A = this chain, B = another copy of it.
Amino acid sequence: MVEGVRELKKRETRRRIAETALRLFAGHGFDAVTVAEVARAAGVTEKTVFNHFETKEDLVYSEDRAFEAELLESVRTRPAGEPALAAAERFLVGRYRRLAIDPASGDRARMFATLVAASPALRARERRIHARYADALCALIAAEQRAAPDDMRPRLLAEALMVVHGESLAMMRAGLLEGTPGDELGPRAVAAARRGLALLAGGFAGYAARRPG
């Protein structure tokens, strides 16, 4: 019981630090704000910040581990008979839909987009995070399918899913930076992701046939 309250408080502190950091970074730029300033604004010590976040970049990508865990869980616990792609689609599309239904998530996403657009270091970090998602998905699918080492199909599926995710994020961020409201952007991103995922599901055999002449 006591442990439960302690855990809850810890999570709340972590959330507050990350929100504060995002707001400060978005206002002044990622490089211009120090971890000490984040700590002060969040009402904690610098040591507390580093207890929760290993690096300054982790303050921005504070939800990457939760995202990864939920993505993997959605694939791992899919109904019997369901292909991995369908489970991943349900999870990803559900995420993009949040933008449409939760205005606070739109504000947060807009700050995020501003920040990442201005920082090559953060974009490089994000590429590494997405590569980690792909590795984890690939390992999960390969284990499930008992894939031979020469079987590149789990890797193909995992990387293709991450292309859809990356393109969907890029689209939503571009829209947010142009001031498109979340309830318009969300459905647009969902539709674009679904179109990409439909091609993945059905295959490229009939796609991009060369026109005569």
Contacts and interface: CB of A to CB of B under 8 A. Distances in A.
Interface string A141-183: 1001100001111111101100110011001000000000000
A193 B212 CA distance: 28
Contacts of A86: 205
B205 A85 contact: yes
Nearest to A204: B85
Interface residues of A, number: 48
Contact of A150 (B188, B200, B201): B188
Given A152-B167, A188-B150, A195-B152, A83 B205 contact: yes
A79 interface: yes
Contacts of A202: 203, 205
